[in-house]
């Protein structure tokens, strides 16, 4: 797909929208969805979808419906997203990150439907006039009506969450004693952006405790989704609160007393 899609000018976009078909059964995917973006066609609000394999098309599904379905299909990722709040201090434009995959919002949490940009297949982000130009690994070029600074900031925030997730996964392996060596996990988005997010944790074991809490809560959520909650009169928020209280009070008791190896340290400045 060697072409350019320009979403900046309504009159240019209108011509393209007239020729694109609808696909209302589309399922948003982590590895193929490049963009979901709210647009207006005539007097209708519809969603423009760019898929790496299917190309551009339209859907009557709202962007919020599509992204919600992704989160619900991957049962642990909602808990992972809490990392953005607790350890990175992100409360606005919070990205959805699942390891190397994920999406960043193109608008804030207002009444306006936000678009979501998939970052796994991005090969470069450039500035074009006063807007952002994205290039994907299938040679598709995308011009968005937002500044390079805005979009770069959103992607760096996602890369930072990816770095925290790397540390979180490594801590589970390290403190849990699952392996003899610390795993080397990549951050593809950080490499693409040529940025190196720093993760500074005052207490690395806090991240491990958070990981245990996230997995326990997510497992209970899955248990309740199977219908057992209604049968037993259980509520996920109450159970999650109980888990958080237990981890806060007794978290040290579930930590392994011995670690297989020390955390890698940066070399001292000469």
In a domain, 264, yes or no: no
Q: Are 163 and 171 in contact (CB under 8 A)?
A: no
pLDDT at 259 over 50: no
Let me know whether 199 and 124 are in one domain.
no
Let me know whether 161 and 200 are in one domain.
no
Let me know whether 155 and 201 are in one domain.
no
Tell me the H-state helices in the chain.
Answer: 10-19, 63-73, 77-86, 148-176, 188-193, 204-223, 229-232, 236-250
Last residue of a domain, one of 116, 141, 167: 167
Q: Whole domain around residue 17: which residue ranges? A: 4-167
In a domain, 100, yes or no: yes
pTM of the model: 0.77
pLDDT at 28 over 70: yes
Task: Give me the pLDDT at residue 198, please.
Answer: 73
Let me know whether 190 and 247 are in one domain.
yes
Domain count, the chain: 2
Let me know whether 146 and 242 are in one domain.
no
In a domain, 261, yes or no: no
Query: What is the spatial distance between Cα 134 and Cα 176, in angstroms, rounded to a whole number?
Result: 40
Task: Give me the pLDDT at residue 132, please.
Answer: 96
Give, in order, the Cα–Cα distances in Å from 20 to each of 38, 80, 113, 141. Answer: 14, 36, 21, 18
In a domain, 269, yes or no: no
pLDDT in tens, 177-224: 555 565 667 889 999 999 888 766 666 666 666 766 666 666 666 666
Let me know whether 153 and 180 are in one domain.
no
Let me know whether 249 and 142 are in one domain.
no
pLDDT at 128 over 80: yes
pLDDT in tens, 59-99: 999 999 999 998 888 756 666 666 666 777 777 888 898 88
Task: Give me the pLDDT at residue 78, please.
Answer: 62
Confidence of residue 112 (pLDDT cuts 50, 70, 90): low
Interval 41-51 mean pLDDT? 91
Give, in order, the Cα–Cα distances in Å from 251 to each of 68, 69, 212, 255. Answer: 31, 33, 9, 7
Q: Are 245 and 237 in contact (CB under 8 A)?
A: no
In a domain, 260, yes or no: no
Last residue of a domain, one of 118, 136, 167: 167
In a domain, 93, yes or no: yes
């Amino acid at each position: 797909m060697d072409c350019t899609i320009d979403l900046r000018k309504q009159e240019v976009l209108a011509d393209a929208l007239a020729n694109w078909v609808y696909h209302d059964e589309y399922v948003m995917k982590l590895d193929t969805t490049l963009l979901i973006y709210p647009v207006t066609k005539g007097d209708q609000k519809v969603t423009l979808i760019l898929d790496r394999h299917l190309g551009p098309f339209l859907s009557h599904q709202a962007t919020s419906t599509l992204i919600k379905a992704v989160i619900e299909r991957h049962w642990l990722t909602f808990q992972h997203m809490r990392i953005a709040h607790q350890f990175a201090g992100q409360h606005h434009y919070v990205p959805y990150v699942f390891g190397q995959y994920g999406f960043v919002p193109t608008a804030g949490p207002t009444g306006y439907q936000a678009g979501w940009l998939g970052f796994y297949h991005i090969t470069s982000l450039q500035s074009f006039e006063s807007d952002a130009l994205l290039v994907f690994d299938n040679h598709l070029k995308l011009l968005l009506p937002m500044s390079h600074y805005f979009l770069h900031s959103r992607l760096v925030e996602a890369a930072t969450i990816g770095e925290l997730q790397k540390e979180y996964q490594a801590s589970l392996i390290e403190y849990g004693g699952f392996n003899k060596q610390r795993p080397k996990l990549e951050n593809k988005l950080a490499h693409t952006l040529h940025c190196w997010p720093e993760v500074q944790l005052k207490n690395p074991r806090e991240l491990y405790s958070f990981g245990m809490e996230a997995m326990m809560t997510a497992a209970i959520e899955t248990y309740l989704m199977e219908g057992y909650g209604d049968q037993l009169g259980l509520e996920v928020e109450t159970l999650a609160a109980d888990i958080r209280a237990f981890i806060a009070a007794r978290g040290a008791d579930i930590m392994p007393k011995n670690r297989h190896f020390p955390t890698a340290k940066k070399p001292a400045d000469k």
